[in-house]
Amino acid sequence: MAIGATIHTFTVQLSDVDRGVYDELSIRVARHPSETDAYMLTRVLAYCLEYEEGIDFSEGISATDEPAVLVRDLTGALVAWIEVGAPDAARLHTGSMKAARTAVYTHRDPDKVAAPWAGKRIHRGDEVLLHSFDPGFVERMAGHIERRSTATLTRTEGRIYLELNGVSDETDIHTRSAA
């Protein structure tokens, strides 16, 4: 954990109808002082929407050789490389070479996130998925984060419904290839 990081705890009732994943998650997130609430909430959403056995957060901004979220199998082998924000093409290339599955979750404009990737070498770039949310969704909900937050997250037919500390909102998940 980084010096000066603030620990946030999220208790999440997850109902991912699209993937058949139903669980109650207790998620501890270390928020670095330079990290925005919107970025942290995007990390939590990525964790929940990718949730499977072996998922974990990396060491954060100090872990330059790991993504924000990763999945390892029982042998410790890297299965999924999940970036958050606006990673460069080189990170996606590396992640796609190291893991069977690579994804990006962003709260930013996906066209602006993907623009720098154009013409760059990204291993299996057509398989790398960029996920985004409706404009303003993450920012609106990030304003309701507390040190201890409770949430209900439901995904069905590509739409998510989030209730965070008593405030509800919904969004489509927009997905496209990095290539």
CATH tag, 6-177: 3.10.640.10
- Tell me how far apart the alpha carbons of residues 151 and 40 are, in angstroms, rounded to a whole number: 14
Segment (H or E) for 14:
strand 6-16
φ, ψ for residue 127, nearest 5 deg? -95, -15
Contact 104, 45 (CB under 8 A): no
Interval 59-87: pLDDT, tens: 765 566 889 999 999 999 999 999 999 99
Contact 129, 100 (CB under 8 A): no
Each as own residue / partner, the long-range contacts of residues 173-176 (CB below 8 Å, 24 or more positions apart, any chain) are 173/49, 173/131, 173/132, 173/133, 174/110, 174/131, 174/132, 174/133, 174/134, 175/129, 175/130, 175/131, 175/132, 176/110, 176/114, 176/129, 176/130
Domain ranges of the chain: 6-177
DSSP state of 88: -
What pLDDT does residue 32 have? 87
Interval 84-138: pLDDT, tens: 999 999 999 999 999 999 999 999 999 999 999 999 999 999 999 999 999 999 9
pLDDT at residue 154 above 70? yes
Report the relative pairing of strands 69-72 and 78-84 from DSSP bridges: antiparallel
Contact 96, 124 (CB under 8 A): yes
Question: Mean pLDDT across the chain, nearest whole number?
Answer: 94
- Tell me how far apart the alpha carbons of residues 119 and 78 are, in angstroms, rounded to a whole number: 27
Interval 4-40: pLDDT, tens: 789 999 999 999 999 999 999 999 999 988 899 999 9
